[in-house]
Structure 1
């Protein structure tokens, strides 16, 4: 296999990975709270080929001597882009939208008897019976994970309420069936992630914080807890995906064109090898 075939085949494999990323973004263009990913490329190793040994022919040359032959390109990183998505009003009392970038809800599930906390910006919540408090309700997402308050605890709601409100300071309260009595439930906890590019995706728009000790970081370097006040939260609304279909489609078409160019280069190199092998003395 010659150098041109190596360069083309390696680059085609990496371009396929970028197309997979773009396709994933487009497939989630209507997923609430979804954050797109962006692939960036870097050059692989190259070698200097000094194919002209007669320096007489280099007089007046402005470019460096020889030819740099590369081994293709690779994806340097697939970065999580945290641009704010559009806010859509839903008129549903348990729909909460985060209006600040890099802020997340903290939700908790129980797996194999262990509590597992995750971060998400998907704000569609529901009511479910609290397994630890019979006769009481709690707030969960579509996966049954509990929304946590400022103390890291799940919310507890009475059965006999008629309305639920999210105050401008992030406090949740309910109005009972008499339409007079109100009860404070606590404050919605938000996590401000300082280094979102380190988050690990676990599916369903959920993320986990990596092992910071292995990265040489402390908790304060990665995140901080903030209350859902100062307009960071909106009730009766959801944050939409930050995927721009027109932009993603344009990127996909360009990537496909680059893939075709490299496929053609691979085909031409194969044809030249065939011609060489077919030459007879």
Structure 2
């Protein structure tokens, strides 16, 4: 395989990964709290080829001597973009929209029988019976994962409640049938100072990697903050931050680049066929 085919085939493979990222963004245009991803490219290694061994033939040349033969391009980073999505008024008591771009809800998922902390921007919650506390309700996501409070514990709701209200201090309260008001717990958020370290694990959730293995202290990456009125809006949801028109433009541009590289492979193959067909 010659160098032109190597460069074109490598780049085409990386462009396919960008197409996958764009497709995922488009598919989640209407997903609550979804954050788009954006890919950037960088050059691979290249080698300097001296195509003119006689410097006498290079007199008066203005460009550098020799040729640079590259190996194509690769994806340098698939960056998570945390721009604020549009706020959608729902009027529903268990819908909460985060108004700060680098803040996340704490979500508890059950993995291998243990509760593991995850992060999410999806503020559409529901009520389900707490499996560890029969007779009490708990707040869960659409997938059944648990919303956690400031103490990393589930938020329990009495069965005989009439309404739920989030105070200015971020404390969730329940008004019971007899008119009494009961505090259910402090809604807490996690502020991510280095969002590019987050790992997408599916279902609109993000995981936290092993920070010690990466050389980071937890305080350098995560900060626990109260979910007060300035950060959480009750009765609203945050929409996806995907700009469909922008993604479609990126899709068309990437397809053209992919087509260009596949055409380069075809042309290199045709030239190789012509050379092989030459007879003495």
Instruction: Identify the residue that residue 240 of structure 1 maps to in structure 2.
Output: 239
Instruction: Identify the residue that residue 45 of structure 1 maps to in structure 2.
Output: 45
For the Cα contact (< 8 Å) 2:167–2:229, is it kept in 1? no
- Of 57-66 and 38-47, deviating more is 57-66
**In structure 2, distance between residues paired with 1:229 and 1:277:** 73
In structure 1, the residue corresponding to 2:241 is in which secondary structure?
coil
In structure 1, the residue corresponding to 2:52 is in which secondary structure?
coil
Taking the TM superposition and a 5 Å limit, the aligned residue runs for 1:180-199 are 180-199=179-198
Q: Deviations over 1:194-247 (max 9, x none)?
A: 111001111011011100111011110110100011510001111111111111
Instruction: Identify the residue that residue 269 of structure 1 maps to in structure 2.
Output: 268
State the TM-score, normalizing by the size of structure 2: 0.97
Structure 1 segments of 4+ aligned residues over 6 angstroms from their partners = none
Unaligned runs of 5+ in 1: none
Q: Deviations over 1:115-149 (max 9, x none)?
A: 11111010110111122222111111111111111
In structure 1, the residue corresponding to 2:116 is in which secondary structure?
strand
**In structure 2, distance between residues paired with 1:249 and 1:167:** 41
Instruction: Identify the residue that residue 211 of structure 1 maps to in structure 2.
Output: 210
2:158 is the counterpart of 1:161: no
What is the CA RMSD across the aligned residues, in angstroms? Answer: 1.0
**In structure 2, distance between residues paired with 1:265 and 1:157:** 63
Q: Deviations over 1:38-94 (max 9, x none)?
A: 111010111111111222232222211011010100111111111111111111110
State the TM-score, normalizing by the size of structure 1: 0.97
Shift of 1:28: 0.6
Say how many residue pairs are matched.
280
